[in-house]
C-alpha cells in the first residue's frame, strides 16, 4: 500500500488524527433493511461520487478492497484527476461502507470514508468522515477555497445518497 499518510484506517476506527482538517456528516437516507440493502448496493457502485457530479475512473464497476480509482472535478482540460486506494471495507448485516486513501499525485493527503448503518429504530444512516491536509503548495496557498470545495462536495455526496433509488 503506498498511500500518502500513516494513519490508515482512522476513518473506520477513529478518532480522526490531529494535524488535519476534519469533516463529518451524517444524514438519514431511508428506513428498514430493504432500504439499507438498496443503499449499500448504490454505495458499492460509486453513487456518492457519480451523484455529486464527479467523474470516475476505475477498472472495477464496484468498490473492492485494494481497488484504485481516480475522481475528477472540473471541466474539460481543466479537470483535475486525483488518485485514491480503497483501504478498508465493512460488509455486515447492518453496516456497509469503505474508506479510501490518497495516493501520490493527489492534491491532498488523507482519508475519507462512507458508511451506512441501520439504527435501533430501523432508520438507515449515511455517514461521511474525512481527514486531509494539502499535499501541493498551491493547494496550501488556496486552502480556504480547498476547504470550501471539500465541504460542498461532501454535501453533494450526502444528497446523492439521499436521492439514490431505495
Q: Nearest 10 degrees: CA dihedral of 118, 119, 121, 124?
A: -50
Give the separation between CA 76 and CA 46, rounded to whole angstroms.
Answer: 21
Q: What is the pTM of this model?
A: 0.91
Q: In this structure, are residues 66 and 2 in contact, taking their beta carbons and an 8 Å threshold? A: no
Cell readout for 138 is 498551491
| Tens digits of residue pLDDT in 115-160 | 999 999 999 999 999 999 988 877 777 777 777 777 888 888 889 8
Cell triple for residue 49?
Answer: 461520487
Alpha helices in the chain (DSSP H): 10-13, 33-44, 47-51, 137-141, 143-163
Amino acid at each position: 500500500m503506498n498511500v500518502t499518510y500513516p494513519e490508515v484506517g482512522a476513518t473506520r476506527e477513529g478518532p480522526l488524527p490531529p494535524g488535519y482538517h476534519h469533516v463529518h456528516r451524517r444524514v438519514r437516507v431511508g428506513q428498514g433493511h430493504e432500504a439499507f440493502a438498496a443503499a449499500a448496493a448504490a454505495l458499492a457502485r460509486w453513487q456518492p461520487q457519480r451523484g455529486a457530479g464527479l467523474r470516475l475512473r476505475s477498472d472495477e464497476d464496484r468498490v473492492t478492497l485494494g481497488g484504485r480509482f481516480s475522481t475528477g472535478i472540473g471541466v474539460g482540460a481543466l479537470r483535475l484527476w486525483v488518485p485514491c486506494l480503497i483501504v478498508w471495507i465493512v460488509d455486515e448485516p447492518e453496516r456497509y461502507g469503505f474508506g479510501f486513501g490518497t495516493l501520490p499525485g493527489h492534491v491532498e493527503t488523507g482519508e475519507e470514508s462512507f458508511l451506512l448503518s441501520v439504527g435501533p429504530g430501523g432508520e438507515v444512516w449515511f455517514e461521511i468522515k474525512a481527514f486531509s491536509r494539502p499535499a501541493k503548495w498551491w493547494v496550501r496557498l488556496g486552502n480556504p477555497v480547498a476547504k470550501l470545495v471539500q465541504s460542498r462536495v461532501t454535501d453533494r455526496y450526502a444528497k446523492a445518497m439521499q436521492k439514490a433509488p431505495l
